């Protein structure tokens, strides 16, 4: 494995919302003169050496994806960070590598090394007329960085990124690496395990724990992704009255009597955004439908503000800076009016519609998962708090996702509405967040926090959110990692959340 120690003593996340003091940053790469499999296996050994060094020198360390998280989840104070983005090998999966009992389509499985960008995988899959099943609104994350916090879009019947991962290769110590898959849905054969010189663990709890484990289960070196045939998305954004009809839709996801662009067809993606300063003109409703792929479609184009159909608020809210409260409505109206301009019947593949890998200015982003039946009550609360604590320099945005099997996925309810509060980088925004979380607690409204976005979690809250899943997750971490590894893969945030327990 190639390893360049770049000597940085501090690290700043992509959004420049925090800086952490670190000991060093290593940029990693596969050896160029080895073929894909041998290069991958050589890098596995390289990771093990790094873990051995970390243990010897008592230095905590952690893998970094694309650095897109707002929380200090990918970093470790006074430790070593590993830039994994160049570890972007992919391997196709042969029939021999898969168990005869696997019920899926082998030709749609792809083995991806951790650093593959979501955008990069999409481009590669397209060459074989395949596609990822879903992604976030933007696609600059690495595949493992995205799954590790449970990143999601609004393909509500599909799930989040981790929901299409069916095998995980983790380097858990200086001497051990394992292949994890579900006992109840086994995929790979002994031949595959031999190719990676690894050890097979088929176990639902271990697998479901590792899926969303934010760097604390070791180094996830590679994953098997279940993909599907390349498809097109037909996209619409309309302004619709925020009335009982829309509220019922958001609270039920029952499209049987919906009057959306394609009538009552159940969409692939449904999301709503409310500009609290322009409600009289309606909410912004994005309805995207899945269509068979064809070559002769006219590609969607960004609007005058440079924003494409799939882009969400983090792509443009950074342009709202900390302004005096009286100006907030005017500034938000001006920005949203151009960035979220309605459009009709724009087409693209998943990778084209959800394609923004650029960041435009500093912003704060928080996302909470709430059960569908609480959506409208929570919106009432937001309007109330906007009056008393606001004005919030941002918008209220809603996406929807079915329940994940990952133990700590924040898409935790049967169908989770993900409420996103993207706003200006300011103390006022933080105060607004705090008031909202306090009110949800006071009203005992169940909710979960996105692990990679602004949040206010501690162990007690996490227990309320996830119940017994928390203990199962901690037990899984203790089963996979030995005492030395538990120590090096612990960062201050994990400790603060009470998840670093050694059993
Ligand atoms: C513009 C923008 C838009 C966004 N849109 C969405 C969205 O639509 N939906 C959504 O859910 N989120 C969204 N986010 C949040 C983002 O998707 C998540 O925070 C995601 O986890 C970031 O992925 P990353 O590759 O940058 O990982 P990082 O932030 O670098 O790391 C995330 C976690 O993964 C761990 N990790 C990374 N690689 C490895 C590895 N090889 N082994 C073990 N652990 C590893 C890290 O240690 C860390 O704990 C957005 C963020 C931005 C900046």
Residue pair 356/315 in contact by the 8 Å Cβ criterion: yes
- CB of 148 closer than 6 A to ligand 1? yes
CATH architecture of structural domain 2-229+475-496: 2-Layer Sandwich (3.30)
Q: Report which ligand 1 atom has the smallest distance to the Cα of 15.
A: 53
Using a 6 Å cutoff on CB, does residue 74 contact ligand 1?
Answer: yes
Which pLDDT tens digit goes with each residue over 82-137? Answer: 999 999 999 999 999 999 999 999 999 999 999 999 999 999 999 999 999 999 99
The answer to whether the CB of 146 is under 6 A from ligand 1 is yes
- For atom 7 of ligand 1, the residue with the nearest CA is 136
A 10 A CB-CB count for 105 gives: 11
Q: How confident is the model at residue 307 (pLDDT cuts 50, 70, 90)?
A: confident
pTM above 0.85, yes or no: yes
Pocket test for ligand 1, best of 149, 315, 359, 366 (most atoms within 8 A of CB): 149
87 in contact with ligand 1, CB cutoff 6 A? no
The 10 Å Cβ neighbour count of residue 161 is 31
Q: Compute the chain's Rg from CA coordinates.
A: 22
Cβ contacts of residue 442 below 8 Å, gap of 6+? none
Q: Listing from the earlier edge strand, what are the strands of the sheet with 2-5?
A: 2-5, 24-29, 80-83, 61-64
Whether residue 391 has a cis bond before it, omega within 30° of 0: yes
Residue nearest to atom 2 of ligand 1 (CA): 314
Task: Compute the distance from residue 263 Cα to the ligand 1 centre, in Å.
Answer: 35
Distance CA 154, CA 136 (A): 8
Q: In which band, very low, low, confident or very high, does the pLDDT at 49 lie, cut at 50, 70 and 90?
A: very high
| Whether residue 363 has its Cβ less than 6 Å from ligand 1 | no
Q: Where are the domains of the chain?
A: 2-229+475-496, 231-456
Residue 161 Cβ inside 6 Å of ligand 1? The answer reads: no
Please tell me the residue having the least CA distance from ligand 1 atom 45.
Answer: 215
Q: For ligand 1, pick from 145, 165, 493 the residue to mutate: most ligand atoms within 8 Å of CB.
A: 145
Centroid of ligand 1 to alpha carbon of 279 (angstroms): 32
Predicted confidence (pLDDT) per residue in 352-411, tens digit:
999 876 666 678 899 999 999 999 999 999 999 999 998 999 999 999 999 999 999 999
Q: Which CATH architecture has domain 231-456?
A: 3-Layer(aba) Sandwich (3.40)
- Give the model's pLDDT for residue 483: 97
Residue in 142, 148, 168, 214 to alter for ligand 1 test, most ligand atoms within 8 A of Cβ: 148
Q: Indicate the pairing of strand 80-83 with strand 24-29.
A: parallel
């Amino acid at each position: 494995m190639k390893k360049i120690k770049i000597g940085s003593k501090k690290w700043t996340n992509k959004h420049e919302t925090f800086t952490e003091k670190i000991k060093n940053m290593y940029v990693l790469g596969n050896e160029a003169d080895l073929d894909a499999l041998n290069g991958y296996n050589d890098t596995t050994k390289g990771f093990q050496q790094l873990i051995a060094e970390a243990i010897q020198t008592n230095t905590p360390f952690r893998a970094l994806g694309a650095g897109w998280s707002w929380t200090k989840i990918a970093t470790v104070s006074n430790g070593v960070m590993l830039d994994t983005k160049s570890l972007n090998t992919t391997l196709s999966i042969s029939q021999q590598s898969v168990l005869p009992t696997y019920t899926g389509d082998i030709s749609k499985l792809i083995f991806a090394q951790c650093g593959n960008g979501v955008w990069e995988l999409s481009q590669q899959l397209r060459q074989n007329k395949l596609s990822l099943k879903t992604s976030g609104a933007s696609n600059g994350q690495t595949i493992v960085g995205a799954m590790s916090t449970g990143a999601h879009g609004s393909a509500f019947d599909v799930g989040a990124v981790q929901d299409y991962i069916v095998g995980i290769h983790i380097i858990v110590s200086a001497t051990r690496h394992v292949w994890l898959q579900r006992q109840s849905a086994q995929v790979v054969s002994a031949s595959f395990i031999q190719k990676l010189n690894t050890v097979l663990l088929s176990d639902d709890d271990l697998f479901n724990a590792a899926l969303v484990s934010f760097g604390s289960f070791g180094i996830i070196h590679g994953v098997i992704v279940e993909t599907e045939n390349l498809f097109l998305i037909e996209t619409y954004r309309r302004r619709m009255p925020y009335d009982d009809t829309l509220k019922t839709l958001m609270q039920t996801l029952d499209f049987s009597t919906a009057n959306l662009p394609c009538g009552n067809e159940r969409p692939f993606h449904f999301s709503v955004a409310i500009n609290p300063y322009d409600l009289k003109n309606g909410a912004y409703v994005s309805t995207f439908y899945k269509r068979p792929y064809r070559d002769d479609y006219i590609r969607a184009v960004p609007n005058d503000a440079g924003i494409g159909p799939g882009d969400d608020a983090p792509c443009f809210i950074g342009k709202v800076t900390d302004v005096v409260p009286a100006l907030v409505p005017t500034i938000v109206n001006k920005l949203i009016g151009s960035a979220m301009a309605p459009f009709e019947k724009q087409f693209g593949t998943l990778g084209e519609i959800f394609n923004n890998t650029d960041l435009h200015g500093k912003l704060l982003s928080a996302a909470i998962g709430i059960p569908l039946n609480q959506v409208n009550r929570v919106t009432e609360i937001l309007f109330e708090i906007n009056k008393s604590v606001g004005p919030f320099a941002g918008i209220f945005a809603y996406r929807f996702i079915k329940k994940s099997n990952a133990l700590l996925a924040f898409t935790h309810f049967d169908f989770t509405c993900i409420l996103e509060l993207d706003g200006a980088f300011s103390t006022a925004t933080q105060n607004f967040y705090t008031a909202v979380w306090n009110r949800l607690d006071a009203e005992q409204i169940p909710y979960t926090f996105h692990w990679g976005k602004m949040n206010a979690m501690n162990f007690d809250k996490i227990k309320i959110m996830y119940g017994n899943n928390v203990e199962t997750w901690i037990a899984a971490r203790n089963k996979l990692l030995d005492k030395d590894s538990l120590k090096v893969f612990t960062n201050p945030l994990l400790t603060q959340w009470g998840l670093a327990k050694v059993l």
